[in-house]
Copies of this chain bind each other. A is one copy, B any other.
Amino acid sequence: MLKYNVSHIDGQARRGQLETAHGVINTPAFMPVGTVATVKTQTPEMVAETGAEILLGNTYHLMLGGRAELIEKAGGLHKFMNWNKPILTDSGGFQVMSLSDLSKTSEKGVEFKSHLDGGEKHMLTPERSIEIQHKLDSNITMQMDECIRLPASVSEMRRAMELSIRWAKRSKEAFIDREGYGIFGIVQGGLDEKLRLESALKLTEIGFDGYAIGGLAVGEPQHEMFETLDFTCPALPVDKPRYLMGVGTPLDILGAVERGVDMFDCVMPTRSGRTAKAFTSYGEMNMRNAKYKEDFSALDPECNCMACKNYSRAYLAHLIRANEILGAILLTQHNLYFYQTLMRGIRNAIETGTFQKFKKEFIKKYSQTK
């Protein structure tokens, strides 16, 4: 129930439009992470100013303590947090497994306890995950899957992949179709080509509105991630969006777009904004570095964000040293704007058939921190 149109191709890179009940997402798209109904340090107006057209919400954080029911009463996550554009939510499964105090996976789902919820025992099943995402009014629901830690044996990866396929079926069945809303399947299988292709095939047979590639960006070298994309992307339907979960650096994104990925999410721009790190046209900068203390130039002279237009590196460095919240606000705003500027550049390059040139020039400049 989500319309997707691929309007331009440039090599494997794709330029498209994904239509939802809350508006169109231009792809390739980067989704800022709004973990617990807020993109940390930003108002939704500030997030929209960066050009972001879709946010990601974390179901794990949005379900604890009765939050999902609260948000449902509020009329959904869009209304609750005052973000009227599309929202994608993860299934909660990954964070249950990585963040909760105790978790135990079975055929049925994952049993867990969370200190955020008074230590009460919970069961997250594919059906419950889909129900919660429905309560949140998420435009793009993610199936529940099992994302195991790497390295793992092939037999362990196969077991998890096959369980994820069974959960994919249950997720799809539990999902209630509505115009402008959809559900994505998640390809698993680690770095193993056979498993990835099998996962992609079985998910395609079930049929989803989009296909995510999970289990990457979990510590493996970049070339292994790219190799996995090299054989996984061609196995996915060409007429549906492809979403690489949890990725990544600007260079990760360029390499993944080159291989046919359409959507991304990552905490990097927001988390870095709270730890004094800036992404700029000339590479990454640590604003705690003494050399910026009396540097009155703009953070990124080529950036049009409010932080770069109105403040100096010296002022940002001052705020950060003084532990002032405005430092995190401005740096986060810049980082999000920088990521969206990258995506605008990528989209424009694909439209004009100049993606390779764009990528080469971006990387060249990005490698010379000023």
Contact = CB atoms under 8 A, between A and B. Distances in A.
Interface in A53-75: 67, 70, 73-74
Contacts of A329: 41, 43, 325, 329
A326 B80 contact: no
Contacts of A322: 36, 38
A315 B81 contact: yes
Given A310-B82, A315-B80, A318-B37, A74 B325 contact: no
A42 interface: yes
Contacts of A310: 44, 82
Nearest to A44: B310
A31 interface: no
Contacts of A238: none
A37 B327 CA distance: 11
Nearest to A274: B325
B306 A43 contact: yes
B296 A67 contact: no
Copies per complex?
A: 2
A271 interface: no
Interface string A21-60: 0000000000000001110111111000000000000000
Contacts of A324: 36, 38, 40
B40 A318 contact: no
A311 B41 CA distance: 16
Contact of A296 (B40, B41, B73, B328): B73
Interface in A299-325: 306, 310-312, 314-315, 318-319, 322, 324-325
The 7 closest A-B pairs by CB, nearest first: A82-B310, A38-B326, A41-B325, A38-B324, A36-B322, A80-B315, A325-B325
